[in-house]
Homo-oligomer: A and B are copies of this chain.
Amino acid sequence: MKTTRNTAAKTAVLEVFEKSKTALSHTEIHKQLNDLCDRVTIYRILDRLINEDVIHKISNLDGTVKYAKCNHSHQRVHIHNHAHFSCENCHEITCLETVKPSYIMPHNYKVNEINFTLSGLCPNCLNSNI
Contacts and interface: CB of A to CB of B under 8 A. Distances in A.
A53 to B, nearest CB: 15
Q: Which of A85, A110, A113, A122 has the most CB of B within 10 A?
A: A110
A18 interface: no
Number of copies: 2
Interface residues of A, number: 38
Given A59-B60, A61-B59, A114-B116, A108 B123 contact: yes
Interface in A93-130: 96, 98-106, 108-123, 126-127
Q: Which of A59, A96, A108, A123 has the most CB of B within 10 A?
A: A59
A38 interface: no
Contact of A119 (B98, B99, B112, B117): B112
A76 B59 CA distance: 27
Interface in A21-50: none
Q: Report the 4 A-B pairs with minimum CB-CB distance, sorted nearest first.
A: A101-B101, A108-B123, A112-B120, A110-B121
